[in-house]
C-alpha cells in the first residue's frame, strides 16, 4: 500500500513519535539528552515552530509540536539527521539510528491537546520507570509545574486552557495529570480509530482538515465500500453481483466494480476476483472493455461520478 503524504497547514499540532531502529536505544546518557535539547532549541530558532510538550525515553521520544509555515517533515528531518550524526560520533558507529518513517498525527487541539500532553508526560509511568511523572527528569512535566525552566518550551498555550492565572493553571494542570496517572496505552494517540490515520479528531475535524488542505482525495476506500456502492447504484440485492448471470446490467456493474477497485483503492483485482467468483484475468479484460465504452457512452461517466460521490460519503460515515 502506498504511503499517504504528510499533511501540513500553519498552526497544525502534531503528536510525533521517534523510535530507535529495530527498538535500539537512542539515548545512552544525559549528555545525549542535553544534546537533543540543544538541537530542538536550534530547530525552533531556525524554523519558527513550537514544542508544546515532550518526553525522552530510552529508545523513543514523544513530542507535541505546533508548526508555522515550515512543514513538520523538514523540522524532524533536520533534528533526526543532526542527532544521528551526534550519536554515531559518540558511539563510533555508522548507519541509521531511527526507525524508518517517524510517526506524526495531527491532533484536534481544541478537543484533545490537554489529553495528548497528559499522555506524553505519563509515558514513564506507563513504562513502570517511575510511580509519578514528576519523578522523571526528561520530560516537560516539571516545567509545566514550574519546577524547571526550559526557555525554548512553550507551556502557556496549554496552561491557558486551565486558567489565565499561571498559579491556578499549574494547580489545575497538576490535578488533571494526577487523575490520569493510571491510564494505560491509548491507540487514539497513534492515529488508530480515526477516518484517516494521520489525524486525531472527530469526523468533522478530519473532513475539514482534508478539504482545506486539498488532501481529501487521499482517502482510499476498500473493496467492501466499492461493492456496497455498486449495489446501491445498480439496485442489486444479496449476492447478485457474484452470481453467474451475464445479464447486461450485472456485467456492467461488475466491470465498474473492477475499474473502481483498480483505480480508486489499494486492493488488488485478485482480491476482488475471489469476492465475485471470477478470474482476475476476466476482470482485467472487463476493465479494458469498460474503458473503451466510456469513450462513446456518456452515461458511464455519470455512473463513475455517482460512484465516487457515494464512496466519498462512505469513507466519512464509516
**Cell representation of residue 140:** 516537560
pLDDT at 143 over 80: yes
Question: Which pLDDT does position 190 carry in this prediction?
Answer: 65
Tell me the torsion sign for CA atoms 223, 228, 229, 233. Answer: positive
Distance separating alpha carbons of residues 142 and 162, to the nearest angstrom: 17
CB count within 10 Å of CB 111 equals 12
pLDDT at 316 over 60: no
Question: Which residue in 253, 272, 252, 250 sits closest to 262, CA to CA?
Answer: 272
Q: Confidence band (pLDDT; 50, 70, 90) for 218? A: very low
Domain-located, residue 4: no
DSSP string of 281-310? HHHHHHHHHHHHHHTT-HHHHHHHHHHHHH
Inter-residue contact 158 to 151 (CB < 8 Å): no
pLDDT digits (tens, 9 = 90+) for 151-166: 999 999 999 999 999 9
Question: Which residue in 70, 66, 6, 74 sits closest to 214, CA to CA?
Answer: 6
Record the pTM: 0.65
Domain boundary among 196, 216, 236: 216
Distance separating alpha carbons of residues 253 and 146, to the nearest angstrom: 65
DSSP state for residue 133 in the 8-state scheme: G
pLDDT at 174 over 60: yes
Please identify which residue in the block is written with the cell numbers 502506498. Answer: 2
Question: Which pLDDT does position 272 carry in this prediction?
Answer: 92
Domain boundary among 194, 216, 238: 216
Distance separating alpha carbons of residues 12 and 200, to the nearest angstrom: 12
Q: Confidence band (pLDDT; 50, 70, 90) for 202? A: low
Domain-located, residue 19: yes
Question: Which pLDDT does position 215 carry in this prediction?
Answer: 54
The residue-averaged pLDDT of 119-139 equals: 96
Question: Which pLDDT does position 206 carry in this prediction?
Answer: 63
Domain-located, residue 81: yes
* Residues β-bridged to residue 104: 16
| Percent of the chain predicted with pLDDT > 70 | 86
| pLDDT, mean over the chain | 87
Let me know whether 212 and 225 are in one domain.
no
- Poorest-pLDDT segment among 29-33, 179-183, 196-200, 226-230: 196-200
- Parallel, antiparallel, or unpaired for β 60-66 and 50-56? antiparallel
* Residues β-bridged to residue 61: 18, 56
Domain-located, residue 207: yes
Report the number of distinct structural domains present in the chain.
2
Domain-located, residue 305: yes
Ramachandran class of 276: left when φ > 0, alpha when ψ lies in -120 to 50, beta otherwise: alpha
- Poorest-pLDDT segment among 110-124, 220-234, 280-294: 220-234
Let me know whether 127 and 99 are in one domain.
yes
Let me know whether 206 and 237 are in one domain.
no
pLDDT at 211 over 80: no
Let me know whether 227 and 164 are in one domain.
no
Let me know whether 46 and 130 are in one domain.
yes
Sheet containing strand 103-107, strands side by side: 50-56, 60-66, 13-19, 103-107, 199-200
pLDDT at 150 over 80: yes
| Percent of the chain predicted with pLDDT > 90 | 53
Parent domain of 123: 13-216
Inter-residue contact 17 to 190 (CB < 8 Å): yes
**Cell representation of residue 182:** 493510571
CATH of the domain at 237: 1.10.1750.10
CATH of the domain at 93: 3.30.70.1290
Let me know whether 26 and 134 are in one domain.
yes
Inter-residue contact 12 to 106 (CB < 8 Å): yes
Let me know whether 310 and 185 are in one domain.
no
Residues 6+ apart with CB under 8 A from 309: none
Distance separating alpha carbons of residues 16 and 19, to the nearest angstrom: 10
Let me know whether 123 and 262 are in one domain.
no
pLDDT higher for 221 or 259?
259
Let me know whether 93 and 231 are in one domain.
no
Amino acid at each position: 500500500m502506498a504511503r499517504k503524504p504528510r499533511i501540513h497547514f500553519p498552526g497544525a499540532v502534531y503528536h510525533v513519535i521517534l523510535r530507535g531502529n529495530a527498538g535500539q536505544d537512542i539515548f545512552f546518557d544525559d549528555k545525549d539528552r542535553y544534546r537533543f535539547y540543544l538541537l530542538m532549541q536550534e530547530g525552533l530558532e531556525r524554523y519558527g515552530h513550537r514544542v508544546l510538550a515532550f518526553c525522552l525515553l530510552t529508545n523513543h521520544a514523544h513530542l507535541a509540536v505546533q508548526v508555522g509555515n515550515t512543514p513538520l517533515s523538514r523540522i524532524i528531518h533536520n533534528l533526526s539527521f543532526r542527532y544521528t550524526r551526534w550519536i554515531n560520533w559518540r558511539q563510533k558507529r555508522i548507519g541509521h539510528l531511527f526507525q524508518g518513517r517517524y510517526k506524526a498525527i495531527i491532533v484536534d487541539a481544541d478537543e484533545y491537546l490537554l489529553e495528548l500532553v497528559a499522555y506524553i508526560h505519563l509515558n514513564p509511568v506507563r513504562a513502570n520507570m517511575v510511580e509519578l511523572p514528576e519523578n522523571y527528569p526528561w520530560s516537560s512535566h516539571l516545567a509545566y509545574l514550574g519546577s524547571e525552566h526550559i526557555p525554548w518550551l512553550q507551556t502557556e498555550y496549554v496552561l491557558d486552557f486551565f486558567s489565565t492565572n499561571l498559579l491556578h493553571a499549574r494547580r489545575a494542570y497538576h490535578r488533571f495529570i494526577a487523575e490520569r496517572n493510571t491510564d494505560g496505552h491509548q491507540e487514539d494517540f497513534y492515529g488508530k480509530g480515526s477516518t484517516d490515520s494521520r489525524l486525531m479528531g472527530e469526523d468533522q475535524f478530519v473532513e475539514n482538515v482534508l478539504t482545506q488542505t486539498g488532501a481529501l482525495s487521499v482517502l482510499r476506500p476498500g473493496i467492501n465500500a466499492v461493492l456496497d456502492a455498486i449495489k446501491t447504484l445498480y439496485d442489486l440485492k444479496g449476492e447478485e453481483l457474484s452470481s453467474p448471470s451475464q445479464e447486461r446490467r450485472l456485467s456492467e456493474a461488475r466491470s465498474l466494480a473492477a475499474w473502481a477497485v483498480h483505480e480508486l483503492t489499494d486492493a488488488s483485482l485478485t482480491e476482488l476476483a475471489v469476492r465475485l467468483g471470477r478470474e482476475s484475468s476476466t476482470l482485467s479484460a472487463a476493465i479494458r472493455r469498460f474503458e473503451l465504452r466510456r469513450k462513446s457512452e456518456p452515461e458511464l461517466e455519470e455512473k463513475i461520478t455517482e460512484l465516487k460521490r457515494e464512496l466519498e460519503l462512505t469513507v466519512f460515515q464509516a
